[in-house]
Amino acid sequence: MRVGIIPQQSGGSYKFTIYLLASLGLLIATLPVIIIALMSFSAAETTSFPPQAYSLRWYIKMFELFQPNGENSDASLQIALLTSLKVAALVMLIASVVCVPLAYVLVRSGGRLKNGMELLFTLPLVFPLVILGIAFLLIAESLDLELGIWRLVIPHVALVLPFVLRNCVGAMSSIDIELEQAAISLGASPLRAGVDIVVPLMKPGIIAGLVFALIISFNEFTITYFMYTVDVTTLPIWMYSRTVSSLDPSTLAISFVIVLIDLALILLIDKLLAGRNSLL
Write the CATH number for 148.
Answer: 1.10.3720.10
Per-residue pLDDT at 276 = 44
Per-residue pLDDT at 192 = 81
The letter for the amino acid at 206 is I
Instruction: Name, in order, each residue with C-beta under 8 angstroms of 212's C-beta and a sequence gap of 6 or more.
Output: 160, 163, 164, 167, 269
153 and 203 in one domain? yes
Domain hosting 26: range is 12-66
- Mean pLDDT in order along the chain per 10 residues (280 residues): 52 78 86 84 75 82 77 78 93 91 83 71 79 88 83 92 87 81 80 81 86 91 90 89 77 88 85 56
Question: Quick check: helix, strand or coil at residue 42?
Answer: strand
Per-residue pLDDT at 4 = 54
Assess if residue 86 is contained within a domain.
Answer: yes
218 and 97 in one domain? yes
Assess if residue 213 is contained within a domain.
Answer: yes
49 and 142 in one domain? no
Assess if residue 96 is contained within a domain.
Answer: yes
What's the number of domains the chain is made of?
2
194 and 171 in one domain? yes
Assess if residue 4 is contained within a domain.
Answer: no
- Residue 101 CB neighbours (<10 A): 13
Per-residue pLDDT at 94 = 94
The letter for the amino acid at 161 is L
200 and 158 in one domain? yes
Assess if residue 205 is contained within a domain.
Answer: yes
For residues 36 and 243, the answer to whether their CB atoms sit within 8 Å is: no
Per-residue pLDDT at 280 = 43
What is the Cα Rg of the chain in Å? 23
Per-residue pLDDT at 274 = 67
